[in-house]
Amino acid sequence: MRKRTQAREIALKILYQIDVVPQDAKKAAEDFFSYDQDSDSEIKEFANKLISGTLDSLETLDKKIAEFAANWELDRMAVVDRNVLRLACFELMFLADIPSKVTINEAVDLAKKYGGIDSGKFVNGILDKINKTDIKKS
């Protein structure tokens, strides 16, 4: 598995944990990495960048997702789907060095792996709409 793919998976797990049991993000990441001895510094660095960026931009990301998730309220979405969308929106909106297609494919893969039967389709549909109509990386 590629390093950024591993970092996204770790970031999702930590964001999920923080969403279910609110806690300090830095502490949650430290705890996770204390048990995960296989991750090298590059993976940890990118995962931490994704986690902190997503949490720092949470209000903006949630507004963007809500705007394009017709008939869905964020708090009623599956926790995995919600956090995959947040993570991918952060990448789409703020990480210009990552192609949109890569971000969306990685998010769909995460949703398929950790979400429900239709999570991949759900995530793909929302991210595709956001990417086609509204993303201007800064």
We report the CATH number of the domain holding residue 117 as 1.10.940.10
Rg (CA), the chain: 14
Annotate 16-40 with three-state secondary structure: HHHHHCCCCHHHHHHHHHHHCCCCC
* Intervals of the chain under pLDDT 50: 137-138
pLDDT at 38: 73
pTM of the model: 0.93
- Domain encompassing residue 25: 3-134
Tokens 């952060």: give the residue: 90
Distance from chain centroid for Cα 24: 17
pLDDT at 133: 86
How many separate domains does the chain show? 1
pLDDT at 136: 55
What are the CA-CA distances from residue 116 to residues 28, 31, 34, 80, 97 (Å)? Answer: 25, 27, 29, 9, 30
pLDDT at 88: 98
pLDDT at 138: 42
Sign, Cα dihedral of 9, 113, 14, 19: positive
